[in-house]
Structures are given as structure tokens and as C-alpha cells.
Amino acid sequence: MTTSSSATAIQFEGVNKFFGRFQAVKDLNLEIREGEFFSLLGPSGCGKTTSLRMLAGFEEADSGCILLRGSDVTSAPPNKRPVNMVFQHYELFPHMTVFGNVAYGLRLKKVRDPELSRRVQEMLRVVRVDGLEGRGARQLSGGQQQRVALARALVNRPAVLLLDEPLSALDVKLRKQMQIELKSIQHQLGTTFVYVTHDQEEALLMSDRIGIMNQGRLLQVGTPREIYGRPADAFVADFVGSLNAFDLRVDEVSGGRAVMRLADGEHVAVALEGAVAAPASTIRVAIRPERIRVTEAQAAGADTGAPGASRVGGVVTAVDYVGSLTTYRIETALGLIAAQEANDTLAPDLVVGDRVVLSWAPDAAFVLPPSIVEG
């Protein structure tokens, strides 16, 4: 995955950024390692693009500092930083050919032929647009523009490549393809990528680590598995993937688990993992829809699930079929719960009104910490 060295490529230290009275970035502290694919993920207006633009030098931090490979670049102009950017709308030079676009940065650095041509051609091959070098920038398709923009930035061998939602203008199919390609190009070159996106699936798929932002604040930094599996707060949990959240009345605490006894003799449990739960209090618990098993009530014997599994009965109120998956919405004693089943050979064939039993493994649910930011 990441390169063996764990040297630091980028450090944000207590960075704040205001636009007028609006604070776009609040006390940002973040370390990005050399060679990793790091994504800044969050809804629009969360400060992720502003953070990226401060790295590129298009915005200057009002306080705090930004270190790039150990040297302070907080106030350095964009042309004096060893970083390059891939813009959301590509921003190719319309009066130049593909070759002219990719050669632009090298020519400024006085790189001459034959090295110039060699490096441009090599990079065009990496992004797979070799053969188009004579084409005008205006004559390219969206996907080709994307690749040329990538080559134009990477050919300069930047210390860090910044990508500002580069795939958002592409159609779904091309976007999926480019996600895979970007990731493989990053592995091939070993360049540190800082990738800004609002698409959680994209971030999960591509990143070594993800930083989640909301309202100017960095909420959590972690691997995709950490972010998805153990979100730091309710916002992260909800933003990354879909989620069921419900209140659990603590009837009993045993073996590091809080247990709620249900009227029908079943029980629901959650592993506390360090969270505190006093008996008779109420805690907020979350579970991902795909971690819930749905079984028809008649078929559900006492054998359902592992020992200690949570079980709760309910009635199907909606069935959302999307091809490979079906999402059932089920009314239970805990409220409305969404459960997702893969449409494989074992899939139950349920319709609205069916009585079912939901069950999940002891470690599937987690205690949901309260929101870090208000709203």
C-alpha cells in the first residue's frame, strides 16, 4: 500500500481560514504521509476545497502554518511550491495542443528537447492519451481532458499532487473506470495524492486514508475501514454509507456489552468498546443495514445467528430492489430499521406485510458518539 517510509509530506498546524466573517476552516491539524493516497471527504462548504487551495497557494491561511516536506509554505505563491493540481474543470490551456499543455510546466523550468519530448510522451503513455499530442485542447472529450490535465500536473514530478473533485464532471461509467486508473497510476508513480471529494464511495474505494470534514472542522482521520466501521461521531457515520440509529435502553451491562431486553423475550446488545453506559440509561446505537440478517418469522428458529446475537421481530413496510441488492424497511420495537440483503441464491423473497426477524452478530452494532459539531 503506502511506501515503506512513513515520512511526513504535509502538515497543517492549527490552520484557520476566514472569508469575511465566515470561517471556512477551523483549527485544522493534519499530517499526510509521503506516498499515500489521502482523501478529504465532506459535504459542499465543509472546507475541504479551501484546505486544498491553501496547499496549492491559491488561498492563504489566516493563522497557523502549512509545512511541505518540512519547509513552511504558508505564504509561498503557487508558482513557488513543488505541488501541482488537477482542477475540477480541468482548465486546460485552450490555445495549446495536448503536447503544449503537458509541456507547459517543463518549459518554464527550462527543460529542453530531447528530454522535454521524452518526459511528455512518457507521461501521456502513463495516462493513456499517447497519439493525441497534436490535438487541440478544445477537441478532446471530457475523459481525455481529464487525462491530459493529470499528465500536465504529474509530468512536473510534484512532491504532492492535489486533485479537486477531478471526476465529478464525468459520467458514472467513466468515473468508475477513472477511479481505478487513478489509484493504479498513484501506485505506479508513488506520488502523494491529496484528493478532495464529496463522494464517500469514491473516497472509500481509492484512499489509503480519509479525513472527514464538516463545517470547517476535521472530524476524523482514518483508513476507509476505520471510518466506515467505527465512525467518530453521528455525522461521520451518517455521511459515510447509510445507517440505522436507535435508542437502546440499558437493562443490563455484562461482559463489556450493554443489553436491552425486549417484550418478546429476545434481546438487543451492543459492544461498549470503552463507551460508558449506566444501567437504566439510554444510549444511541448504530448499525449498518448490510450487517443485519433478515429471516422470515416462521423459518427463524432458535438456531438463528451466533450465540449472543441480537434479535428483533418486525413487519416489512417497504422493499427497494436495486438489482444486486434489496433494501427492506422494517417496523420494529426499535423503530424503523433498514436492512440490506445481497440478492444471491440465499436471499429471502419478502413482500410488504411479511413478519420477519432481524438479527446481527454481537460486534455489528456500535455505540454512536454524539456529534462533534453542532447541526
Partner 1 sequence: MAGGSGRPLTAGVRAERGRLLVSIAQLTPALAYFALFYVGPLLVLVYISFLTFRNFQFVEPLSFNNYANVVTSETFRVLFSRTVLLSLLSAVLAIAIAYPFTYIITFVFPGRSRSLYFLILVALFGGYLVRIYAWRTILGVEGVINGTLMTLGVIEEPIREILNGPFAVVVSMVNFLVPLAVLPIYAAMQNVSPGVIEAARDLGSSRLQVTRRVILPLVLPGVLVAFAFCFIAAAGDFAIPALLGGVESPFIGNQIQFQIGQTSNWPLAAAMATTLIALVVLIVAGVALVARRVIR
Residues that bind partner 1 (CB under 8 A): 56-58, 77-79, 83-85, 87, 89, 91-95, 104-105, 108-109, 131-135, 152-153, 156
Compute the least distance from the CB of residue 247 to partner 1, in Å: 48
Compute the least distance from the CB of residue 91 to partner 1, in Å: 4
- 34 or 133: CB nearest partner 1: 133
**From CA 189, how far away is CA 207, in angstroms rounded?**
15
- 94 or 307: CB nearest partner 1: 94
C-alpha cell of 295?
429471516
Amino acid at residue number 65: C
Residue of 240, 210, 243 lying closest to 228 (CA atoms):
240
Question: Are the C-beta atoms of residues 18 and 47 closer than 8 Å to each other?
Answer: no
Compute the least distance from the CB of residue 131 to partner 1, in Å: 4
- 57 or 314: CB nearest partner 1: 57
List Cβ neighbours of 118 (8 Å cut-off, separation of 6 or more).
none
- 5 or 44: CB nearest partner 1: 44
**From CA 352, how far away is CA 354, in angstroms rounded?**
6
- 101 or 197: CB nearest partner 1: 101
- 92 or 294: CB nearest partner 1: 92
Compute the least distance from the CB of residue 78 to partner 1, in Å: 4
Compute the least distance from the CB of residue 134 to partner 1, in Å: 4
Question: What are the DSSP calls for 139-198, one per residue?
Answer: G--HHHHHHHHHHHHHTT--SEEEEESTTTTS-HHHHHHHHHHHHHHHHHH--EEEEEES
Torsion angle of C-alpha atoms 255, 257, 260, 262, degrees rounded to 10: -70
Compute the least distance from the CB of residue 143 to partner 1, in Å: 17
- 101 or 207: CB nearest partner 1: 101
Compute the least distance from the CB of residue 190 to partner 1, in Å: 21
CA 372 to chain centre: 18
How many CA atoms lie within 13 Å of 100's alpha carbon, on the beta-carbon side?
11
**From CA 364, how far away is CA 366, in angstroms rounded?**
7
